[in-house]
């Protein structure tokens, strides 16, 4: 069944200045989409739904460590219409602000205090490529995702010569696993799309990078837009797609420019024949990083994840077989074509390839570091110049991976070893928390994020994210006020709710949302004195 394509009503609303009164009706008139549905879409995306907000201040965990709240207060004191917002994928440059859709990275209190909205300037200047490492030379051990661009298209030519079957075998043999969060083997996905009976197929780039603590895709797009596009072109050629959609989060103004410039460069050269690239901007919704939510958003709808199966490989964009990949995953592809599957596989330690690890928080030089897959926290932080204070806890793969104690600093940061301790590599957004951080407070920042970013579609997540956060609030109030009875009861449903969110949610957001709290309670009981996890029959135990 071919679905009727809807015009991009979110972009039309953006052009209309956001979801102002009457905008839905106007866009409905122009597009033929019912006005209520236009409104439903507009109200879903924060950058559209709040047209009067002038400035957003990242209040994610890393930025909170850097004093984000004070910047927010200072901006408001200036009479600026400012609100907090979720992670802006600039945790290596805290605290980023968002003026309209323009990111101002690395802002300090002094850059904000007493400064008018239009006069705000980032000390980082126009370019916000940040620290990378450990080596910047074109050496053989790295996948070269952080190096200089090349528009030769040599890998694409090689893929053409190899043919689809050859490329799929190569990708499968390389052991490349998805770098967007789930670690799914890329070869299996390519094979599955290529094997569908339906011949209309699509390739989609997931550049919605929003997992708190993660910013590697931004860095890759800024430095190697060519590699990302060449990887996409190889994928399209291989699975038989002519249309490639790039979904960049709405806050990625500079990566957008880098990618569109690179598209123009390749088009000028005619490198990829008739493969067409379409760029699509997000409008402020973390959940659109979930691949089926992303597809819904591309189709002009509210970004609510679909029920799976069917997976996008079978029924994706407009119901057609679709290959969705993360920026880093697809960026690895040209190098694999160039140097071979065995070369790539051997780069890793406990898994195939190198991995771009993002590290932020209490480290000397936050940034994106390319290390063998399976490097440890200590190795990563060493590359980043060391810890700024003694290590208390860390989050290995974004907010969704919860927290681990310092004792796990030697554990390989890979898909398997982290899953063994109830965590995950996820997006490899590593956040380091030093001594003195209250883990109840840290967990609260992550719970606020999930509550804010839940799509609200399914009950376990919509109700559960708020319930768990309210329970933690009740506990913190009781703890700080010394109310022993309330301390004992406040968290008593958390284990059950967490169990249910994992069992009953539609997508990964709801399934993992309570993990920051449950893992903090489990690994840092001294930050949760006098709490009990409940005794409802069959209650999940946190230990």
Partner 1 sequence: MTEVKPATIVLDGQEVAIEEGETLLELAARRGVEIPTLCHDPRLVPAGACRTCLVEIEGWRRLAPSCTTVAADGMVVRSANERIERHRKTLMALYLTDHPAPGEIAPHIVDGSEVHRMAVECGAPDDWPRMAPIRVGREDHNAFIQFEPERCILCARCVRYCAEVEAVSAITLADRGSRTTIATADDLSLMEASCELCGGCIDVCPTDALTEKLALALPAPIPDKLERVRTTCNYCGVGCQMDLEVEREANEGRGRVRRVLSPPAGTTTNDGNLCVKGRFAYQFIEHEDRLTKPMVRREDGLLHETSWAEALETAARGLLGVKARHGSDALGFVSSSRCTGEENYLMQKLARAAFGTNNCHQCAAT
Ligand X SMILES: Cc1cc2nc3c(=O)[nH]c(=O)nc-3n(C[C@H](O)[C@H](O)[C@H](O)COP(=O)(O)O)c2cc1C
Positions touching ligand SF4 (CB under 6 A) are 287, 304-305, 454-458, 461-462, 505-507, 509-510
- The SS3 call for residue 148 is coil
Burial class (CB in 10 A: 0-12, 13-18, 19+), 483: middle
Q: Which stretch binds partner 1 (CB under 8 A): 9-17, 18-26, 181-189, 317-325?
A: 18-26
CA distance 353 to 347: 5
What is the pairing mode between strands 367-372 and 404-405? unpaired
- Is 377 near ligand FES (CB under 6 A)? no
Side by side, the strands of the sheet bearing 102-104 are 82-85, 55-58, 97-99, 102-104
List the beta strands (DSSP E) in 146-275: 202-207, 243-248
Give the largest CA-CA distance in the chain.
Answer: 72
Name which of ligand SF4, ligand FES, partner 1, none residue 463 binds, using a CB cut-off of 5 to 8 Å depending on partner kind. partner 1
- The nearer residue to ligand SF4, 310 or 525, going by C-beta atoms, is 310
Asked if residues 194 and 238 have their Cβ atoms less than 8 Å apart, the reply is yes
* Binding residue for partner 1, selected from 21, 126, 139, 274, defined by CB under 8 A: 21
Residue 243 CA, distance from chain mean position: 24
> Shortest gap between Cβ of 87 and ligand FES (angstroms)?
3
Name which of ligand X, partner 1, ligand SF4, none residue 326 binds, using a CB cut-off of 5 to 8 Å depending on partner kind. ligand X
- Is 58 near ligand FES (CB under 6 A)? yes
Indicate the Cα dihedral angle 57, 63, 67, 72, nearest 10°: 10
Asked if residues 203 and 236 have their Cβ atoms less than 8 Å apart, the reply is yes
* Torsion-angle region of 153 (φ positive above 0: left; ψ -120 to 50: alpha; else: beta): left
Q: How many residues bind partner 1 (CB under 8 A)?
A: 49
- The SS3 call for residue 345 is helix
Q: Which of 344, 514, 369 is nearest to 430 (CA)?
A: 369
- The nearer residue to partner 1, 151 or 499, going by C-beta atoms, is 499
- Is 229 near ligand FES (CB under 6 A)? no
* Binding residue for ligand X, selected from 8, 92, 211, 226, defined by CB under 6 A: 211
Name which of ligand X, ligand SF4, ligand FES, none residue 531 binds, using a CB cut-off of 5 to 8 Å depending on partner kind. none
> Shortest gap between Cβ of 50 and partner 1 (angstroms)?
11
- The nearer residue to partner 1, 7 or 134, going by C-beta atoms, is 7
> Shortest gap between Cβ of 49 and ligand FES (angstroms)?
21
Residue with tokens 């992550």: 446
Task: Please enumerate in sequence order all residues whose Cβ is within 8 A of that of 126, keeping only pairs 6 or more positions apart, or say none.
Answer: none
Burial class (CB in 10 A: 0-12, 13-18, 19+), 188: middle
Residues composing the chain: 543
Q: What are phi and psi of 17, to 5 degrees?
A: 85, 20
* Binding residue for ligand X, selected from 238, 326, 360, 401, defined by CB under 6 A: 326
CA distance 417 to 350: 9
Q: 71 is written with which tokens?
A: 């910047």
Q: Which stretch binds ligand X (CB under 6 A): 12-20, 239-247, 371-379, 506-514?
A: 506-514
- Is 52 near partner 1 (CB under 8 A)? no
Residue with tokens 């030519």: 157
Name which of partner 1, ligand X, ligand FES, none residue 291 binds, using a CB cut-off of 5 to 8 Å depending on partner kind. ligand X
- The SS3 call for residue 429 is strand
Q: Which stretch binds ligand X (CB under 6 A): 205-213, 346-354, 458-466, 492-500?
A: 205-213
Q: What are phi and psi of 355, to 5 degrees?
A: -135, 140
How many CA atoms does the CB half-sphere of 143 hold within 13 Å? Answer: 36
Name which of ligand SF4, ligand FES, ligand X, none residue 454 binds, using a CB cut-off of 5 to 8 Å depending on partner kind. ligand SF4
- The SS3 call for residue 511 is helix
Q: 485 is written with which tokens?
A: 């009875």
- Is 325 near ligand X (CB under 6 A)? yes
- The nearer residue to ligand FES, 218 or 223, going by C-beta atoms, is 218
* Binding residue for partner 1, selected from 49, 95, 262, 297, defined by CB under 8 A: 49
> Shortest gap between Cβ of 131 and ligand X (angstroms)?
21
Residue with tokens 């119901």: 319
> Shortest gap between Cβ of 130 and ligand FES (angstroms)?
11
Site string for ligand X, 150-189 (x = CB under 6 A): ----------------------------xxxxx-x-----
Task: Please enumerate in sequence order all residues whose Cβ is within 8 A of that of 283, keeping only pairs 6 or more positions apart, or say none.
Answer: 10, 14, 45, 46, 47, 48, 250
Residue with tokens 């509550």: 451
* Binding residue for partner 1, selected from 451, 475, 514, 521, defined by CB under 8 A: 451
- The nearer residue to ligand SF4, 363 or 513, going by C-beta atoms, is 513
Q: 24 is written with which tokens?
A: 């839905």
> Shortest gap between Cβ of 231 and partner 1 (angstroms)?
30
Residue nearest to ligand SF4 (CB): 510
- The nearer residue to partner 1, 299 or 496, going by C-beta atoms, is 496
- Is 455 near partner 1 (CB under 8 A)? yes
Task: Please enumerate in sequence order all residues whose Cβ is within 8 A of that of 114, keeping only pairs 6 or more positions apart, or say none.
Answer: 74, 78
- Is 481 near partner 1 (CB under 8 A)? no
- Is 510 near ligand FES (CB under 6 A)? no
Q: Which of residues 346-365 bind ligand X (CB under 6 A)?
A: none
- Is 297 near partner 1 (CB under 8 A)? no
- Is 90 near ligand FES (CB under 6 A)? yes
CA distance 497 to 296: 28
Question: What residues line the site for ligand X (CB under 6 A)?
Answer: 178-182, 184, 206, 208-211, 287, 289-291, 324-326, 329, 507-509
Contacts with ligand FES, residue ranges (CB under 6 A): 58, 60-63, 87-88, 90-91, 94, 96, 212
Q: Interface with partner 1 by CB under 8 A: which residues? A: 21-22, 24-25, 28, 34-40, 43-44, 49, 285, 287, 302, 307, 451-460, 462-467, 470-471, 474, 493, 496-497, 499-500, 503-506, 536, 538
């Amino acid at each position: 069944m071919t679905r009727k394509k809807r015009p991009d009503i979110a972009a039309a609303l953006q052009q209309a200045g956001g979801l102002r009164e009457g905008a839905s009706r106007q866009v409905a008139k122009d597009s033929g989409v019912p006005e209520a549905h236009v409104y439903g879409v507009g109200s879903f995306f924060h950058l559209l739904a709040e047209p009067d907000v002038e400035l957003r201040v990242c209040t994610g965990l890393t930025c909170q460590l850097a004093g984000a709240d004070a910047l927010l207060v200072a901006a408001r004191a200036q009479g600026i219409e400012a609100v907090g917002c979720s992670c802006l994928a600039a945790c290596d440059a805290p605290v980023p602000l968002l003026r309209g859709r323009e990111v101002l990275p690395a802002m300090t209190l002094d850059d904000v205090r007493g400064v008018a909205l239009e006069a705000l300037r980032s000390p980082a200047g126009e370019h916000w490529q940040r620290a990378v490492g450990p080596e910047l030379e074109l050496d053989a051990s790295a996948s070269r995702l952080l190096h200089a661009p090349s528009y030769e298209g040599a890998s694409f030519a090689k893929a053409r010569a190899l043919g689809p079957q050859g490329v799929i075998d190569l990708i499968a043999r390389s052991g490349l696993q998805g770098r967007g969060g789930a670690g799914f083997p890329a070869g299996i996905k390519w094979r599955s799309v290529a094997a569908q009976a339906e011949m209309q197929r699509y390739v989609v780039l997931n550049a919605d990078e929003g997992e708190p603590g993660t910013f590697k895709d931004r860095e890759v797009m800024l430095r190697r837009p060519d590699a990302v596009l060449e990887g996409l072109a190889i994928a399209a050629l291989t699975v038989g797609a002519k249309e490639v959609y790039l979904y960049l989060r709405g806050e990625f103004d500079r990566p957008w420019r880098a990618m569109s410039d690179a598209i123009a460069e390749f088009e000028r050269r005619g490198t990829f024949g008739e493969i067409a690239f379409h760029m699509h901007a997000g409008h402020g919704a973390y959940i659109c990083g979930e691949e089926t939510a992303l597809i819904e958003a591309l189709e002009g709808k509210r970004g609510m994840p679909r029920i799976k199966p069917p997976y996008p490989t079978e029924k994706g964009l407009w119901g057609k077989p679709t290959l969705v990949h993360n920026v880093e995953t697809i960026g690895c592809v040209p190098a694999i074509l160039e140097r071979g599957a065995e070369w790539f596989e051997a780069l890793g330690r406990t898994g195939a390839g190198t991995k771009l690890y993002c590290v932020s928080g209490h480290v000397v030089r936050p940034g994106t570091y390319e290390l063998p897959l399976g490097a440890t926290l200590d190795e990563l932080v060493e590359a980043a110049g060391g810890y700024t204070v003694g290590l208390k806890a860390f989050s290995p793969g974004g907010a969704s991976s919860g927290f681990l104690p310092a004792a796990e600093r030697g554990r390989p940061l890979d898909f398997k070893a982290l899953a063994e301790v109830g965590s995950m590599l996820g997006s490899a957004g590593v956040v380091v928390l030093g001594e003195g951080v209250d883990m109840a407070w840290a967990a609260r920042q992550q719970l606020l994020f999930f509550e804010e970013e839940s799509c609200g579609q399914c009950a376990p997540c919509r109700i559960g994210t708020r319930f768990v956060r309210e329970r933690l609030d009740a506990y913190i109030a009781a703890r700080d006020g010394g109310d022993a009875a309330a301390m004992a009861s406040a968290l008593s449903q958390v284990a059950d709710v967490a169990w249910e969110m994992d069992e009953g949610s539609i997508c990964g957001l709801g399934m993992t949302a309570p993990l920051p709290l449950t893992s903090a309670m489990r690994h840092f009981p001294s930050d949760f004195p006098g709490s009990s996890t409940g005794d409802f029959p069959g209650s999940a135990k946190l230990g």
